Amino acid sequence: MSKPSVLFVCVHNAGRSQMAAGWLRHLAGDTVEVRSAGSAPGKTINPAAVEAMAEVGIDITDQTPKKLEWETAESSDVIITMGCGDACPIFPGKRYEDWKLEDPAGKGVESVRPIRDEIKTRIEKLLTELVPAA
């Protein structure tokens, strides 16, 4: 059986979706294919998101914001949007979740930590649904 693929989408692909992708890669290892994208990607990843993830031992410095492409969404099993509302297109026939998360843009690392921790909790729940215990 092929491994499930998850696509995280936010507007800029610079904060929430990058932290979520970092957590899923860290917690799932190679059992899940992880992707992230933005409907209007930024130029760089939010430095506070990078710092908050580094505090828990996850390095996302090598990631760059990517534009959401039809093919990427089409080939993903689960699409998780994060606060982009109508800016995120809908792809029929996909499992969708919309995670209402505060946007970390322009915030310091103190404000990003609770968002990071909330994302971890949601990723852990998602993993139990995607990858049944061996």
Domain segments of the chain: what residues?
5-128
pLDDT band of 122, cuts 50, 70, 90 = very high
10 flagged as catalytic: yes
Write out pLDDT tens, residues 38-55: 989 999 999 999 999 999
Annotated catalytic residue within 24, 53, 82, 88: 88
Does this model's pTM top 0.95? My answer is: no
Query: Tell me, which fold does domain 5-128 have in CATH?
Result: Rossmann fold (3.40.50)
Task: List Cβ neighbours of 25 (8 Å cut-off, separation of 6 or more).
Answer: 34, 58
The C-alpha atoms of residue 76 and residue 54 are separated, in whole angstroms, by 27
Residue 102: active-site member: no
Mean pLDDT of the chain: 92
pLDDT single digits (tens) 69-81 = 999 999 999 999 9
The candidate with the shortest Cα–Cα distance to 87, out of 95, 77, 98, is 98
For residue 1, what pLDDT is reported?
Answer: 54
Q: Is 88 an active-site residue?
A: yes
